[in-house]
Structure 1
Amino acid sequence: MPKVASILALALLLLGGVGYFDANADIYRYEDEEGVVHFTDAPTDKRFKIFMRDIKRDRKLRTTFKLARFTRDPAEFEPIITQCAQEFGVDRSLVKAVIHAESGYNPNAVSPKGASGLMQLMPKTARDLKVANSLDPRENIRGGVRYLRFLLDTFRGDESLALAAYNAGLSRVAQYNGIPPYQETRTYVDRVLTYRKSYQTTN
């Protein structure tokens, strides 16, 4: 269960008096129908919104973006990304961010779990998306963007939940009714959204 505190508990936390939350975690909040404000460091409900970001982790993510070394020139895939983003109505910056986080623009990337290509499609997902060759950049990007569209529609445009499902699977997001409490998934969502902001400033 997520660790939830009242406003008073948060105030004490900020003063260093109570250790309710992981010191290296983001803190989220939402106000319910009765005006009660809730805080957590492990949101499982989409009503929670970021309240206080882990500055050290955020800075690290931004530094990672600046220092990243790509296997291939991202500009090489720009026409495919633009075409697929327009076809499925997905923000081009979001597509770039997912590719950046998933493969670092390496079309031949294969994970230990079997995910492959620029957008790291799992074999079953690739089959469902009618992707015959996940290592073909055009097929992979089209399949990945189509899958992103499906996830965005499933979660009514909530990008954080869509990205969490892209990383951990639809069943996990459904199980926890929000972003699963896995550090890998939380970091992934933060990383992709951070990359997206950087791409938005360069587009």
Structure 2
Amino acid sequence: MLAAAALGLCAVSGTARAELWGYVDGAGVAHFADKPMDSRYSQVLRQRDSDTFRVPGKTTASASLLTWLEFAPEVKAIQPVLREAERVTGVDAELLKAIITVESGYRGDLVSPRGAVGLMQVTPVTGDRYATKAEAQARPVEQRLRDPKHNIMIGARMLADLSRRFGGVDVALAAWNAGEGNVRRAGGKIPDFDETRAHVHMVLELYWALLQQRQQGLANQMKMVRTDG
């Protein structure tokens, strides 16, 4: 799976309340430490008392958000679609779920001022770019993108493609938010845009929390960095 590194967060400093910094490298391996070892590291877990996620229409404590994502009917309804997209594209369902949460808050009828449509906020240009020939001929792109299953599959194909081309999930998410041209102009790194950095951080933070929830600390690939000498 794409960046399928399960998070044994409770193992860090013996408590889930510790800070955790990390990044996902080009091979999809997650690297973690209790402080930033270099510029690649971003903070992925803060003290629980102050930890919040900001998603469209709400600001809520992380525990409450994770509970909502586990039990909300609108989330459960598309879980089989997320797993199918994971199977077909190799993109973790948890990553897709995190993107949907941040992009649309699970509002499938949402259309942005820039014309991005649906759960994953896919633009018509992207919808045509990643559609199969049969899909493109079946119905107009705006109609296709209002179909939750199609919207998610297009988003998953795009993210898989961006991750392959830019060498990592974090930069792929930056390209998703800021555009591929801005990432190329930044030398293949995350552009220095506050909105983009915040978007990448929120998605990765929620993604890793969801992976922890799924895997319950059973790591697939994980490298911990000792910082106590």
Partner of 2:52: 60
Counterpart Cα distance in 2 of 1:101 and 1:179: 18
Q: CA deviation at 1:94?
A: 0.8
Over 3 Å counting, the alpha-carbon distance change for 1:113 and 1:189 in structure 2 is same
Partner of 2:194: 183
Instruction: Give the number of the structure with larger relative contact order, counting CA–CA contacts within 8 Å between residues 6 or more apart.
Output: 2
Q: CA deviation at 1:66?
A: 4.1
Identity %: 32
Alignment of 1:120-199 (within 5 A): 120-130=121-131, 132=141, 133-156=144-167, 158-177=168-187, 178-199=189-210
Secondary structure of 1:143's aligned partner = helix
Over 3 Å counting, the alpha-carbon distance change for 1:190 and 1:150 in structure 2 is same
Which AA in structure 2 matches 1:91? D
CA contact (8 A) 2:44 2:205 kept: no
Larger Rg: 1
Counterpart Cα distance in 1 of 2:61 and 2:182: 27
Alpha-carbon RMSD across the aligned residues, in angstroms, is: 2.7
Partner of 2:115: 114
Counterpart Cα distance in 2 of 1:192 and 1:148: 13
What stretches of structure 1 of length at least 5 have no aligned partner?
1-26, 29-46
CA contact (8 A) 1:72 1:105 kept: no
Q: CA deviation at 1:64?
A: 5.1
Q: State the TM-score, normalizing by the size of structure 1.
A: 0.68
Q: CA deviation at 1:202?
A: 2.6
C-alpha deviations, 1:153-175, integer Å up to 9, x for none? 0012x111010001111100011
Q: State the TM-score, normalizing by the size of structure 2.
A: 0.61
CA contact (8 A) 1:110 1:116 kept: yes
Among 35, 40, 45, the residue aligned to 1:49: 40
What is the number of residues matched between the two proteins? Answer: 157
Partner of 2:105: 104
C-alpha deviations, 1:7-48, integer Å up to 9, x for none? xxxxxxxxxxxxxxxxxxxx99xxxxxxxxxxxxxxxxxx83
What stretches of structure 2 of length at least 5 have no aligned partner?
1-20, 23-37, 55-59, 215-229
